[in-house]
Structure 1
Amino acid sequence: MRLTETDVLLVIDVQNDFLPGGALAVPDGDAVIAPINRLAARAPHVILTQDWHPPGHASFHGSHPGRAPFDTASLPYGEQVLWPEHCVQGTRGAELAAELRAERAELVIRKGCHPGIDSYSAFLEADRRTRTGLAGYLAERGLTRLFLAGLATDFCVLWTALDARRAGFAVTVVEDAVRGIDLDGSLSRAWAEMERAGVGRVASSALV
């Protein structure tokens, strides 16, 4: 599959807290870095996202007395998985992985910044109303096809892929450049849901 000038490599949340040893580590999460770096060196455009929570964010289990990590809570916008505290603004855990070759990134979208709203998608936060501005940025620049990589397949990659399709973009997930959390079968469900939405899959080696 040949990359063209209207293609974007969208790298999702490759941050210390999602890597081995981090507060919310994705199994084998550091394995995405090498294929992402290879693609970032030749992709026409590169955009990054970064989870960027204020202290005491509503998605943290510690903000809900008596709740444990991975419990759920009802927030004004619906059911919310409660996560360990992670990617707090200005902390080492929120930093992009040191090994990630981020210098060609043209834009960094920070999400989850609102204290009461979580955000998985690079396009819309979890209330499904608060926009990040990414769709408008892509449209204004005439960028039409997204190649998704990063963490985690069954949460932020999934939600980003589905929202990108709803916004009219062509979307392909680079399958060796993503890893999932897999809570109670969430990974297989995510792949199936993306397939139904018309999201493609490709190996990084097939992109030239």
Structure 2
Amino acid sequence: MQDLSQSALIVVDFQNDFCPGGALAVPEGDRIYPVVQALIDRFQEAGRPIIFTRDFHPQNHISFVSQGGPWPSHCVQNSPGFDFYPRLRIPQNAAHFYKGYLENVDAYSGFEGRLVHEGRITETTLESWLKAHDVKTVFIVGLATDYCVRATALDALHAQFETIVVTNGIKGVDVNPGDSDQAIADMQKEGALLLEWPVKNG
């Protein structure tokens, strides 16, 4: 059994718009659900911190094609696409960090997000929040491997957290073939540990 003391779970952008049928769907992005939920349940059982990051874009966000960016409009604030993948069971005491909420600032990494408290975006960063909770190790799952997962893992490593990327809990968009494999290689090269999380069938 994995020792989760001093660990936290970061679930990156498991949102409708990144799942099949969404505006910026990751192919088979919903397939990670059993692993993600198993980890959420395990961390909740262990009484360890669970963090959810989400894109929270204004309608005129700099990353959108309409504004000259590379992506279709996605995860627009308070739209159905912004919502979590519907099967997720979210613990009441989970911490939520929004990113990409300023129209002129792009943000792939969860470490660029800010804590949401009582519906308001605060000034609290993910790094400062984790350190205030004496976290030394982060487990990372979510979407997409080659963008927000990669950026979050690299920032976690730069912030001196032991970083474990759960390989069966991530999926990539692969705009260019091989992008996800390259992202995993990049994370590993920088010091991330790769782990496959065991999940019971059914």
Instruction: Tell me if both proteins adopt one fold, taking TM over 0.5 as the criterion.
Output: yes
The answer as to 2:94 corresponding to 1:102 is no
- Aligned pair count? 185
Change (3 A) 1:104 1:8: farther
Structure 2 residue matching 1:26: 3-state secondary structure: coil
Contact preservation (8 Å) 1:149, 1:174 = yes
Equivalence for 1:199: 192
Query: What are structure 1's unaligned runs of at least 5 residues?
Result: 65-80, 126-130
- The C-alpha deviation readout for 1:67-105, integer Å capped at 9, x for no partner, is xxxxxxxxxxxxxx6100000001000001110111255
Query: What are structure 2's unaligned runs of at least 5 residues?
Result: 114-122
The one-letter code sitting in structure 2 at the alignment partner of 1:37 is Q
Residue 49 of structure 1, aligned match among 28, 49, 53 = 53
**Structure 2: how far apart are the matches of 1:203 and 1:104?**
26
The answer as to 2:151 corresponding to 1:159 is yes
Question: In terms of mean alpha carbon deviation, does 155-164 or 116-125 score higher?
Answer: 116-125
**Structure 1: how far apart are the matches of 2:153 and 2:83?**
23
Residue 59 of structure 1, aligned match among 60, 63, 66 = 63
Equivalence for 1:18: 18
**Structure 1: how far apart are the matches of 2:38 and 2:157?**
25
The answer as to 2:161 corresponding to 1:169 is yes
The one-letter code sitting in structure 1 at the alignment partner of 2:63 is S
Equivalence for 1:128: none
Aligned CA-pair RMSD: 1.6
Task: State the percentage of identical aligned residues.
Answer: 38
- The C-alpha deviation readout for 1:131-177, integer Å capped at 9, x for no partner, is 86000001111011000000000100000000000000000111111
Structure 2 residue matching 1:99: 3-state secondary structure: coil
**Structure 1: how far apart are the matches of 2:83 and 2:197?**
25
**Structure 1: how far apart are the matches of 2:16 and 2:49?**
23
What TM-score results when the alignment is normalised by the length of structure 1?
0.85
